Structures are given as C-alpha cells and as structure tokens.
Amino acid sequence: PLILGIESSCDETGVGVVRGTTLLANEVASSVAEHVRFGGVVPEVASRAHLQALLPTLRRAQETAGIDLSEIDGIAVTAGPGLMGALVVGLAAAKALAFALDKPLYGVNHLAGHVAVDLVEHGPLPQPCLALLVSGGHTSLLQVDDVARSITELGSTIDDAAGEAYDKVARLLSLPYPGGPHIDRAAADGDPTAIAFPRGLTSRRDLERHRFDFSFSGLKTSVARYVETAEAEGRPVPTADVAASFQEAVCDVLSAKAIDACAATGATDLLIGGGVAANRRLRELLAERAAAAGVRLRTPPPVLCTDNGAMIAALGSAVVTAGLPPSPLDLGADSRLPVSRICL
C-alpha cells in the first residue's frame, strides 16, 4: 500500500511516504531552535510551529515522493502519546485530508512507529522479536509479536527516560539542548572508565523485582554531585570524562538488559528505536554483546531513530497490510496512549 504518514507528537513536524516497505519521502521540520533558550520543549510554541510547518512539509514530501495525493491508499497519523496541543494539529490535518480525498484514516501509536520504522531500511520485521525503545519520554523493552497487532511491554523505566537523562546531564555540563547528540560527541574525547557512576536496578535484589526495568534518576543525581563537588573545590569539570562515564553507565545497563531479555524470552532478533538509538556508543556496545550472545541486531539509520513521518507511514503500511480497519473520523488524540494500543 501507498501510505502517507504524519507525525506531530513533540517538536518535529514529519511527513513521510512509504510504499509497502519502500521509503519514498521523509520530510522533517523541527522547531527545536525555538525551544533552545528555554532548555526544553515549550508546548504552545511547538503547537504553533506544527501549524506553520505542516502544509509546507506535506508539499515537500509529495514532491520528493513524486506522487499525487489521489494515489494514496491511506493516511496514518500519530494519535499519541505526546503533547496534546501538538498531537491535535497533525490529527486535524490528517482528518481533513482523509475527508477531502475520501481515503481511510489510521490513528497510530508513536512508540510503535519508532519500532516499525526499521522495516523501510531492512525489510519486514522478524516476528516475534524484541525491541529496545529508548527515546526522550520512554525507555522500555518490548516483546513484538506483530508490529501492527501485538506489542507487550516487558519492562520500562521507573523514573527518567534515557533521553531525558542525557538532556538533564547535558544541562549539568552546560551543553546545549537537546543534550543527547552533544554528550555523544563530547564522550568521544573522554575516558568511559574515569568515573564509576552507578548502574540503576542491576543489584541482585533489584533484579528480582526489576529484571527488565530501568532507572536513571540515581545516575543523574550522582553526576550532579560529582559536578557540584568539583566546582566547590575549584577544580575544572572534566566534561569529556563525565560525558563518557555517564554514557557508559547508560549504555551498559541498556544493552545488558536488552540482551538478557532476549535470552529470557528466546528472542533471536533485537531491534532498537527512538532518539537515543542514534547514540554511537549504544550501537557499538549492543553490536558487541548481541554478536557474543548470538542475537541478530537491527539498527535503523540515526535519522530514522529521532522523530519523523516515515516511522508513522511505515507503521501505517504494516497496519494496512495486516488488514486492520481504519479509524473513525472523530478519533481523538491520547497524550498517554500505552504502547500496547498500536492502531485506534
């Protein structure tokens, strides 16, 4: 099927076009520059930016894909989770298009989109498989039996998301927002063994109750203490070493638990998705550990890890291929949509 995908859950306005498992267009307009001076996404600013960017982005996607809107088989749109005011802009646009073109509408889950996107890079997902979802708002291990129909959460963060931890630690190190890519770069010049930061929920006792869960708030506090102490003692903060040691703690836990979940469930394929999946150290460490464990690893290219419209079009394509029914035109956005609700 030829599917148009619209994404507007946070600060990226994305429009993607996918035919089957082939990516035809992936246009993204980001309002991140408008949020930098606030150190985080301002919902009202994001909503207005979506309103301004949506039609130009749609037009560009149509041109890049070389299609006419009359040819499409369906319109997929992020129905949640995300910022309510941002979601409704994309949803309203998708409904208007569906109504005007008389095409079916598919309200889909943003998090399932982060998982589905790899199908445009490496073909249909192996099913069942395991997915490590690491983004700005979520961090979880998912059992994916069918990306269009059945995703079960095995575990998730009990406090901060991995991306949130990257962004908070970047702020402590006076690096710009969003901090993930800046820490990724700063860490390249640092020693990952310089500072022994804690690995959350990995003690024997914690593993009994939280084998597949994550915790990053203790790590963030530990970095804050380290930086405060250095400053109080008048020492320069070794930014590269702090970044590398923090990153090592995050990636060590993420990769160890993902591989352990594969062993526990018998999964032979592991997929990663979400903005933090663009991280170079995470990709490197997972590749090493997956190879050692005999697990096949699927990593989408970094541009498809952060928010985009292709991921929504890819999921829409899987949903239509599975023969699932379209959504009603009075569909509402759900800012807290759980990952198990893939298509509304």
* 157 belongs to the binding site for ligand ATP (CB under 6 A): no
Answer with the entry of Fe ion, Mg ion, ligand ATP, none that 167 interacts with (C-beta below 5 to 8 A by kind): ligand ATP
Torsional sign, CA 138, 144, 150, 155: negative
Residue 191, annotated ligand binder?
Answer: no
User: What character string, x for contact with Mg ion (CB under 5 A) and - otherwise, covers 298-317?
Assistant: ---------x----------
Assess 26 for contact with ligand ATP (CB under 6 A).
no
**How many CB atoms lie under 10 A from the CB of residue 124?**
12
Which two three-digit tokens encode residue 81? 């989770």
For helices 179-187 and 239-265, the axis angle rounded to 10 degrees is 100
- Angle made by CA atoms 75, 79, 81, in degrees to the nearest 5: 145
State in angstroms the smallest separation of the CB of 138 from Fe ion. Answer: 8
Give yes or no for residue 80 binding ligand ATP (CB under 6 A): no
Q: Rounded to whole angstroms, how far apart are CA atoms 106 and 116? A: 15
Could you tell me the smallest distance in angstroms from the CB atom of residue 240 to Fe ion?
28
Copy the structure tokens of residue 343: 């298509």
- Integer Cα distance of 217 and 158 in angstroms: 9
Place of tokens 């029914």: 325
| Measured distance CA(129)–CA(105) in Å, rounded | 27
Judged by CB under 5 A, the stretch of 43-51, 130-138, 231-239, 282-290 that binds Fe ion is 130-138
Among 80, 238, 275, 309, binds ligand ATP (CB under 6 A): 275
Please indicate if the annotation marks 180 as binding a ligand: yes
279 binds, among ligand ATP, Mg ion, Fe ion, none (CB under 5 to 8 A by kind): ligand ATP
**135 marked ligand binding residue:** yes
Q: How far apart are CA 129 and CA 145, in angstroms?
A: 7
Which among 130-138, 197-205, 221-229, 283-291 is the span making contact with ligand ATP, rule CB under 6 A?
130-138
Question: Is 31 among the residues that bind ligand ATP (CB under 6 A)?
Answer: no
Structural tokens at position 256 = 């160890």
Q: Is the dihedral angle over the CA atoms 217, 223, 226, 227 positive or is it negative?
A: negative
Sole window of 150-158, 179-187, 210-218, 313-321 interacting with ligand ATP (rule: CB under 6 A)? 179-187
Stretch binding Fe ion (CB under 5 A), from 11-19, 118-126, 185-193, 299-307 = 299-307
Q: Give the number of other Cβ atoms within 10 Å of residue 198's Cβ.
A: 16
What's the min distance (Å) between Cβ of 135 and Fe ion?
A: 4
* CA–CA distances in Å: residue 222 to residues 197, 217, 256, 266, 267: 7, 9, 21, 35, 34
Per CB under 5 A, residues contacting Fe ion are: 135, 307
Write out the binding residues for Fe cation: 110, 114, 307
Per CB under 6 A, residues contacting ligand ATP are: 9-10, 82, 110, 135-138, 163, 166-167, 178-181, 184, 274-276, 278-279, 306-307
